[in-house]
Chains A and B, each alone.
Chain A
Amino acid sequence: MTDMTTQQLGAAERHADTALHEGAEERRLGLWLTLPAQLLVIFIALFPILMQVYISLTDWSPLDGIPWYRAYELWIGLLNYVDLANDPRFWSALWRTCIVMAICVPVQFLLGLGLAILFVDDFPGRRVLYSTILVPMMVVPAVAGYMFFMLFQSGGPVNDILSFFAGRPVTIAWLSDPDLALFATIVSDIWQWTPLMFLILLAGMVSVPQDQQMAAILLGASWWRRFWTIVLPRMKTIIIIALAIRLIENFKVFDNFYIMTGGGPGVATETISIYIYKVTQQELIWGYVAAIALAILIVLSIVSALAIKKLRSVQ
């Protein structure tokens, strides 16, 4: 009797031991598997940000002939941040980026939503047309920049089409007029990213369950009413995700703008990324660039953390 209990206890102990051992093995394997990704994140986030904080407190530039780690010789404290607050070019670039976002994202959203409504049920040719609509978003953005650069030349096809409708030769110099240049770059962005909105919104719309809509049809609800009270509310999360993705990406906008206009004429199409790029490459005041970049990173971190928290509570 006592023997058996000891035996059983022993077995149970051994069992618990292997389970514990397995748990340890799994934990170890999990750590090993996630290690490369963790190291890469530290490598690209931790070092650069610490470095950025340090350099942003100095007046260092790669032309000074001293290595970056000796930048303390040019220590200027928070002066870069004071300069930043008083830099009209920075604020105007930031404001311009916001205007671009305020135009591009809603237009892309409405066009994408409209197209998604047309594609939500099956019709002959749906698959082919769907794939064709997606083409612009897969074109390399820089190449799209070159495409629109060609289109908006004064002797180019855009003016040719306008001439056709106007009945007289139109020779607008799109890319050398400040307002028209901004318009042209915005058009290129809308062209490229409307398909992405369409793709996400359609996927969300298709996944709205049919039963309630059927019931509403039987009750005689109009299409508009069904869309407004049943479909749209159920797409809320998807819509937030789609808008968030486009706002984030649109804030970074660089490729097509820079290739079409180089930020010009003057600073007419200078977005925040183009502004930072120019200060980095042409004016080479890297201490100041580090301060700009850090300010943007901090603001974005706070905004994104709040947004993600909000999104989680919605879900």
Chain B
Amino acid sequence: MQRSLSFEIFRYAAIFTFLALSLVPTIWMISMAFKPIAEWQASGADLTWWPANPTLDNFRFIFGESGSDLIVALERTAGRPILASLLAASFGTLIAMTAGTAAAYGLSRFGAGGNLPLALIQLRIFPPMAVMIPVMIMWAFLGLIDSWYGLALIYGIVTMPFSFWLMKTFFDDMPREIEDAALVEGCSRWRVFLRITLPIMRPALASSALFVFILNWSDYLIALLLTTRDWVTIPVYMASLSSSMTGQLYGAKAALGLIAAVPPVIMGIAIQKQLVRGLTFGALKE
């Protein structure tokens, strides 16, 4: 469709204005992550948008190297929270994908579990805060408080609606001829699912898993309630990067924030074709 020149100018102007505003917070965090301590608190005329003396001190600091000017040494470094986030999000994704994929196949092919689509949407609608009291009691009873596997279990359940709906739309879209051919050859249903359907679905499984991983990685509230010390995740740990003595450790927070923000952004861009499908529970496919 031919559009006028003035429209083209307007289009770029509008998009770039939006982007300029939208990128300010991200750019500020990146810049802060590389600023030395002297520039953290700078304001007014001293405030610089880009570090005057870029340094990696903030990253060294959160991993426990006291090479920087900071007087305090960290009681706990960021290494363990990063490990906690990775373990909880990965195994949570594994649980969500296993249960979600199996159920999606069962519904898509054999019409089993007809109550699941609605039940899982309801599960998604409820605010996590509104079921956390019993979950905290149950988790305490099962000895799952402050453990990566306890977090992984609840993450797996909370994100199962997404893996289920995503995989259901993928299975619905898959032509059945391939499976039928294998059935005629004498394969059992179970074998067909494991040996034929799942390998064909590998790209769909990969993008669904990445989508679910991003959701798990983004959690804050659940980890805040279910972890206390040993297995706090990155966002919970970030709050400890300030004290009455040192004030806000802006640079350290920004450095850790950057570490936390990079993986989901890369993954999200990698699967942007499937984002719409995932976010709308498969109602819309791009």
Contacts and interface: CB of A to CB of B under 8 A. Distances in A.
A174 to B, nearest CB: 13
Interface in A124-182: 129-144, 146-148, 150-151, 153-157, 159-160, 163, 169, 171
A296 B220 contact: no
Given A26-B110, A150-B29, A251-B127, A44 B135 contact: yes
Pick the most buried of B26, B106, B218, B260: most chain A CB atoms within 10 A of its CB.
B106
A55 B279 CA distance: 34
Nearest to A157: B28
B231 to A, nearest CB: 16
A151 B134 contact: no
B131 A293 contact: yes
B124 A248 contact: yes
B220 A203 contact: no
A238 B122 CA distance: 19
| Residue in B107, B121, B279 whose Cβ sees the most chain A Cβ within 10 Å | B279
A155 B116 contact: no
A212 B234 CA distance: 51
* Max count, chain B CB within 10 A of own CB: residue among A30, A37, A159, A200: A37
A296 B18 CA distance: 36
A248 B41 contact: no
B106 A29 contact: yes
B67 interface: no
Interface string B17-49: 011001111101100100000000111100101
A40 B99 contact: yes
* Size range of the chain B interface in the assembly: 35 or more
A280 B225 CA distance: 9
B86 to A, nearest CB: 13
A44 B112 contact: no
Give the interface residue-count category, chain A. 35 or more
B174 interface: no
A147 B25 contact: yes
A133 B18 contact: yes
Nearest to A135: B265
B126 A241 contact: no
Nearest to A153: B43
B100 interface: yes
20 contacts: A26-B110, A30-B112, A33-B106, A40-B156, A44-B131, A48-B138, A49-B134, A157-B28, A157-B47, A159-B43, A160-B44, A191-B25, A203-B284, A255-B220, A276-B129, A280-B132, A280-B133, A296-B127, A297-B126, A300-B126
Interface of B: 1, 3, 8, 11, 14-15, 18-19, 22-26, 28-29, 32, 41-44, 47, 49, 98-100, 102-103, 105-107, 109-113, 116, 118-135, 137-138, 154, 156-157, 160, 164, 189-190, 193, 214, 217-218, 220-221, 224-225, 234-235, 238-239, 250, 253-254, 257, 260-261, 264-265, 267-269, 272, 275-276, 279-280, 283-284, 286
Q: Which 6 A-B pairs have the closest CB atoms?
A: A155-B43, A30-B112, A30-B110, A33-B106, A34-B113, A142-B235
